[in-house]
Structure 1
Amino acid sequence: MLLVRLSVLLVALALLNGCEQTDAPPLDQQLYVWQRQWTSAHDAALQDSRADFSTLRVLALQAFPQAGWSRARVDPALLKRDGRPLIAVIRLDGQLKSLDQDDVTTHIQQVLSEWQGQGLTLSGVEIDHDAGSARLPAYREFLTHLRAALPAALPLSITALPAWLDSPELPALLATVDSSVLQVHAVSDPRRGLFDPDQARKWVNAWSLITSKPFYLALPAYGVALLPGASGAPVVESEVPVGRAGQRRELLADPLQLSALTAELRADPPTHLAGLIWFRLPLVGDRRAWSLNTLRAVARGDSLDSRLSLKLIAQDDLYDISVSNQGNLDNAWPERVTLAVRGCDGADALAGYALQQSPDLLTFTRLRDGRIPAGEQRAIGWARCAHIDQGGSNVHP
């Protein structure tokens, strides 16, 4: 009887171990590098992102209906030193009337050859083309042509739109490439918002039922502004300023929403989902992107919080007044900051704030919106006072 019980126990342990071995691997995390003009800020951004993001998908080449072809001015030395797998992204604007297979393929081959000549080793090519569903057969023919022209060992992927889910042409299109990247942000009327997590999850589940190959999910870590357009449709301003006056309505992807969605995907990954790709690598001074601290925290699945506190730097009786964000979540400028003071003979607010002064209180009130990135601070004013009681001062979110 003892031997029988021991045998049963060993079988049960084996089954448990087998279950553990079939657990889904953690979702891969990648980054889009989408700046058309590289700067010295890319160096620190790449170095600081290496620990959390496995692969770089770098904008290489764009084609527009009127402007024609444009190459992104990347820094090959930085990419070579970075050493992560590198995927060149070719953006073919959705407003192009048609794709000249030979011409487009020639331009792609030229830029790939140029990158390889600069010492870069490519791990793949991604085609980003917002084709309407009616044009998917022609797009499939182009991809078939391109696939034959590229080295057989070089993976080919496409950026894909949720709107294609209703097309009977989608399975044949996906059969021409090695993987797809489902974009779930900025795919609807911008006036309805930048991103809807509930709708995104539905699209992901539907995509997993159609594709038989690995796919990735492109997620937003940025914002845009909407300006009134002459035709009634809004003009979208993103990382490149639009030379147009008018009231801007800012839209920003919510890190808390994205954190909740990625937690669901980790806990219950849809079939064939291979990883997440974040748009875009943030640079210092990029006011419409999450800070890298916030992006890394969301990618890791860390708990998110902002910890705003008053920071005073004193030189004799002159105080520089700032608000510091010591958390990992970017935060809006505080609505109001009050300082308990004594013996002030001068004070002023910096741009974005207004100052109200009484003998024992300074009140800085926000005039416009802005964000304090995680791990950074924002100066709001100065004061020349005999004393500022930091313990009696408050930051009001």
Structure 2
Amino acid sequence: MRFGFSILIAALLLAACERHDAPALDQQLYIWQRQWTPAHDAALRDSRESFSTLRVLALQAFPNDGWHRARIDAPLLKHDGRPLIAVIRLDGQLKGLDQAQVTAQILQVVVDWQTQGLTLSGVEIDHDAGNARLPDYIEFLTHLRSALPASLPLSITALPAWLGSPQLPTLLATVDSSVLQVHAVSDPRRGLFDPEQARRWADDWGKVSRKPFYLALPAYGVALLPDAGGAPVVESEVPVERDGQRRELLADPLQLSTLAKALREDPPAHLAGLIWFRLPLPNDRRAWSLTTLRAVARGDALSSRLGLTFSEYDGLYDIHLANPGNLDAAWPAQLRVKARGCEGADALAGYSLQQSADLLTFTRLRDGRFPAGGQRAIGWARCAFIDQGGSHVDP
């Protein structure tokens, strides 16, 4: 009898432990292209297993440029089948929010998406209001909440600066959830992202919020250009027509992987998941590759394995750089290939070639990023013999 009682106690304790285990953090994805292309098909397909929900840019309002709809591919989103949240970007430089006009625009987006066969799981408002304007923002959100269908959740993108406002609890009470954005260029010396600061903000947000919140994390880079007064101008998805040397800032996948692991193991109160900005397309030169993004979101160990591959036909060798790992890497500084009896050789874009009797040396001419799982030609050579096992890659 005593043995059976012990088993019962152990089972109850185990069940109690299981009930208190933190749920796995949801992984979601922003789609932020205003103009959809055929490349979205493969990107959505390859992201489906790793990200549960799509938050899709639907509409933007600018101070001097009015309203702009994103040209989404509704049949593609319908076929994808994941929950959809329409994101409305209201530029922070707008002088004010006309409740009637903005609400009408948002409701029209909801109707148009539904007419195209899309089922919305929510609406997100992205508005970088200053602390002094939070009372007006609360009034607008209250109005919008009353105008939207009661069954349609409303969320907002939120700024860490709002933690200093006494209006924050009231603001969060007006919506169903919030998305804390912890990536921005506030100080170029600190880069695009500070993981320690992001963790502190998330912990502090969890102490204020009584509703679920998400953390928006960066999977991209930007360039900084000086303006006439010396202050930085940020170039991201859209090129800035301005001369000047660009300083590239890139969110580090290794840093983000470490932070995501810590958040999974010890999440702040009310943290429901992570949202990654943004879905990368093949021509998105400032975003992580989808291979790296998926690996970080899943918590996989990260590694890049740069190496050279060769294809030969009748003594003509095409030389390729390959990265079969899951971590994007910088273009290698130098590549060396042992070769004999070379009649001719040349480097392709991005590298120069120095040739000696038994060595081909390719030297990087400019910086670049090499995507995980990618391959690119870096040169060719017509040689009697190439020692493929004798090649060397210098990072």
TM-score bin, normalised by smaller chain: over 0.9
- Asked if 1:214 corresponds to 2:188, the answer is no
Deviations 1:207-234 (A, max 9, x none): 0000000000000000011112112111
Q: How does 1:237-316 map to 2 (within 5 A)?
A: 237-316=235-314
Paired position in structure 2 for 1:340: 338
Q: Distance in 2 between matches of 1:312 and 1:189?
A: 44
User: Please, which of 224, 227, 249 is the counterpart of residue 226 of structure 1?
Assistant: 224
Paired position in structure 2 for 1:23: 21
Paired position in structure 2 for 1:140: 138
Paired position in structure 1 for 2:36: 38
CA displacement at 1:187 relative to structure 2: 5.5
Q: How many residues align?
A: 395
Query: Counterpart of 2:109 in structure 1: which amino acid?
Result: V
Q: Distance in 2 between matches of 1:16 and 1:28?
A: 25
Q: Distance in 1 between matches of 2:332 and 2:319?
A: 13
Partner of 2:255, secondary structure, is helix
Preserved CA contact (<8 Å) 1:161 1:187: no
Query: Counterpart of 2:187 in structure 1: which amino acid?
Result: D
Q: Distance in 2 between matches of 1:296 and 1:351?
A: 29
Paired position in structure 1 for 2:354: 356
Give the TM-score normalised by structure 1: 0.98
CA displacement at 1:10 relative to structure 2: 1.7
Query: Counterpart of 2:7 in structure 1: which amino acid?
Result: L
Q: How does 1:378-393 map to 2 (within 5 A)?
A: 378-393=376-391
Paired position in structure 1 for 2:105: 107
Q: How does 1:93-242 map to 2 (within 5 A)?
A: 93-186=91-184, 188-242=186-240
Q: Distance in 2 between matches of 1:185 and 1:265?
A: 16
Q: Distance in 2 between matches of 1:158 and 1:231?
A: 33
Give the TM-score normalised by structure 2: 0.98
Paired position in structure 2 for 1:87: 85
Partner of 1:313, secondary structure, is strand
Query: Counterpart of 2:117 in structure 1: which amino acid?
Result: G
CA displacement at 1:191 relative to structure 2: 4.6
Preserved CA contact (<8 Å) 1:31 1:55: yes
Q: Distance in 1 between matches of 2:19 and 2:280?
A: 36
Q: Distance in 1 between matches of 2:200 and 2:3?
A: 47
Deviations 1:292-343 (A, max 9, x none): 0000000000000001111111111111111100100001111110000001
Q: Distance in 2 between matches of 1:161 and 1:47?
A: 31
Q: Distance in 1 between matches of 2:268 and 2:189?
A: 29
Q: Distance in 1 between matches of 2:189 and 2:37?
A: 32
Q: Distance in 2 between matches of 1:194 and 1:175?
A: 30
Q: Distance in 1 between matches of 2:237 and 2:385?
A: 43
What's the % identity of the aligned pairs? 75
User: Please, which of 287, 301, 323 is the counterpart of residue 325 of structure 1?
Assistant: 323
CA displacement at 1:4 relative to structure 2: 2.6
Any gaps of 5 or more consecutive residues in structure 2?
Answer: none
- Structure 1 residue ranges (4+ consecutive) displaced by more than 6 angstroms after TM superposition: none
Preserved CA contact (<8 Å) 1:322 1:381: yes
CA displacement at 1:192 relative to structure 2: 2.9
CA RMSD after TM alignment: 1.0
Q: Distance in 2 between matches of 1:62 and 1:221?
A: 21
Partner of 2:272, secondary structure, is strand
Q: Distance in 2 between matches of 1:187 and 1:395?
A: 33
Deviations 1:80-120 (A, max 9, x none): 11110000000000000100000100111111111111111
CA displacement at 1:237 relative to structure 2: 1.0
Any gaps of 5 or more consecutive residues in structure 1?
Answer: none
CA displacement at 1:5 relative to structure 2: 4.1
